[in-house]
């Protein structure tokens, strides 16, 4: 055997040995994590029997940490668990998270780079960072541990989840959106989805700096809100509809009374005069449900200047259009749809779900009269969220709602890193709402609708 063959054989043997060692290290880490999780849950259960939970409400986290730390050290000594100082500190923090927070999810909730947390059973936790999904090492002890965390979340907002009602929408204290579904509907274990909200609300300036909205288009959006045009924001799941709605709402004057209606309260409006309404599911007997449609009807009696519906999904679309057509100019809502034209079709279908017998042409006339601007947003294949289109509704032509596109994002392929390339452009159409802006003294740059102008 030649020298180079001997070296190649040695390289292969070394690589195989390294792979075996890596597998052993991974197995050892997994075993250590399992022991840590089991010990953490065991100590948490013991603490529930040993401490006065009501006293925790009057103590700061530092005080609780000192008190709990002593009890944890005492219990570790009784159980003869040999842990070093770093391991004990980590264990105390994890037990505090179990006691005061959401257990294994707490580090992910504190991580500002994480935008979504997706739990697929006790041993599979994924997160979204910068628009991309990645698996984490976070695990729950078992299904009961995961279910206890879910119950803790939903109980905090007065909701429930059990075999009789195995799925639920809820929210965290900071407004983050939560959905949970448990067995028997979830076949492989409970499923938990958390859409995190930024601690500091993302404003229009931030969206411009991220490249989601061009500065010129941001000026138009500000003018649209100030001129009290009715806005429909359309997009797919996770495309940034609520984020854009929050950013645009910042342009509403503080002197106006705003009523918000949501299934789960998550809007982060900054004005002083806000009345927030949230739906309520039926109780265990099937009674007491309050829908968005019920709240919309009630909101009309609350003297609102603007009504903001987090998302229209069913018959409440008809009531929202009625409100827009009866003096509540400047109202806004969102809808799940892939294109502006699809958004209008979905609204028409929702009007049919209201139970009101209305001809298709009359439904379209209601839409054309109520909605002034349709904004399409989307999440591109590289994970970035962008405004894709801004269109204006200008009336009816025969049986069809007439819509003209004012701005659009034109795709131009991808680079070697997978980043989507493209540019914003004006179509060259001067919108009809410009007259309304001018009547209100709102001025936009003369060349903002020039198709040759650079909007990026």
Pairing of the two strands 258-262 and 400-414: unpaired
Q: Domains, the chain, ranges and CATH?
A: 1-100 (no CATH), 101-198 (3.30.450.370), 204-439 (3.40.50.300)
Q: pLDDT-derived band of residue 193, with 50, 70 and 90 as boundaries? A: very high
Distance CA 396, CA 399 (A): 7
Q: Is the pLDDT of residue 52 over 70?
A: no
pLDDT tens-place string over residues 196-214: 877 777 889 999 998 899 9
- 157 within 8 A of 171, measured Cβ to Cβ: yes
Distance CA 68, CA 429 (A): 66
pLDDT tens-place string over residues 325-342: 888 899 999 999 999 999
Q: pLDDT at position 414, please?
A: 83
What are the C-alpha distances in Å from 85 to residues 51, 81, 202, 432? 23, 12, 40, 69
User: Residue 415: exposed, middle, or buried by beta-carbon count in 10 A (0-12, 13-18, 19+)?
Assistant: exposed
Nearest-CA neighbor of 246 among 186, 201, 188, 311? 201
Buried b (16+ CB within 10 A) or exposed e, 184-218: eebeebbbbbbbbbeeebbbbeebbeeebbbebbb
Q: pLDDT at position 305, please?
A: 92
Q: Is the pLDDT of residue 69 over 80?
A: no
Query: Quick check: pTM over 0.85?
Result: no
pLDDT tens-place string over residues 229-258: 999 999 998 888 988 998 999 999 989 999
pLDDT tens-place string over residues 92-107: 777 777 667 787 888 8
Nearest-CA neighbor of 99 among 139, 142, 143, 59? 59
């Amino acid at each position: 055997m030649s020298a180079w063959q001997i070296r190649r054989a040695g390289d292969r043997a070394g690589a195989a040995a390294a792979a075996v060692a890596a597998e052993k290290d991974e197995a050892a880490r997994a075993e250590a994590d399992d022991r840590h999780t089991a010990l953490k849950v065991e100590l948490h259960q013991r603490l529930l029997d040993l401490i006065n939970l009501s006293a925790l409400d009057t103590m700061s986290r530092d005080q609780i940490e000192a008190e709990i730390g002593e009890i944890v050290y005492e219990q570790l000594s009784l159980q003869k668990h040999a842990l070093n100082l770093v391991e004990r500190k980590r264990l105390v923090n994890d037990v505090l998270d179990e006691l005061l927070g959401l257990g294994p999810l707490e580090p992910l909730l504190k991580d500002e780079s994480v935008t979504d947390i997706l739990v697929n059973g006790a041993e599979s936790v994924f997160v979204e960072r910068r628009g991309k999904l990645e698996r984490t090492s976070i695990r729950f002890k078992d299904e009961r541990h995961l279910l206890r965390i879910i119950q803790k979340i939903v109980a905090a907002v007065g909701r429930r989840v059990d075999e009789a009602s195995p799925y639920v929408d809820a929210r965290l204290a900071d407004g983050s959106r939560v959905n949970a579904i448990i067995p028997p509907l979830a076949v492989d274990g409970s499923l938990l989805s958390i859409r995190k909200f930024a601690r500091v609300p993302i404003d229009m300036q931030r969206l411009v700096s991220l490249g989601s909205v061009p500065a010129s288009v941001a000026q138009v959006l500000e003018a649209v809100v100030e001129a009290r045009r009715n806005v429909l924001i359309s997009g797919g799941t996770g495309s940034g509809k609520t984020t854009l709605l929050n950013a645009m709402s910042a342009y509403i004057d503080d002197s106006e009374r705003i009523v918000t209606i949501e299934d789960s309260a998550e809007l982060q409006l900054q004005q002083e005069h806000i009345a927030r309404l949230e739906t309520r599911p039926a109780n265990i007997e099937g009674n007491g449900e309050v829908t968005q449609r019920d709240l919309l009807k009630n909101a009309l009696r609350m003297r609102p200047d603007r009504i903001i519906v987090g998302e229209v999904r069913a018959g409440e679309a008809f009531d929202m259009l009625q409100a827009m057509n009866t003096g509540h100019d400047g109202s806004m809502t969102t809808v799940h749809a892939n294109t502006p034209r699809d958004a209008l079709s979905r609204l028409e279908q929702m009007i049919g779900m209201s139970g009101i017998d209305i001809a298709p042409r009359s439904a379209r006339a209601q839409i054309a009269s109520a909605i002034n601007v349709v904004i399409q947003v989307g999440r591109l294949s590289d994970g970035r969220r962008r405004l894709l289109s801004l269109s204006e509704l200008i009336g009816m032509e025969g049986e069809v709602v007439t819509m003209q596109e004012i701005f659009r994002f034109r795709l131009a392929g991808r680079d070697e890193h997978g980043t989507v390339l493209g540019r914003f452009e004006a179509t060259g159409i001067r919108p009809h709402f410009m007259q309304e802006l001018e009547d209100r003294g709102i001025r936009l740059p003369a060349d903002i609708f020039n198709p040759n102008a650079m909007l990026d």
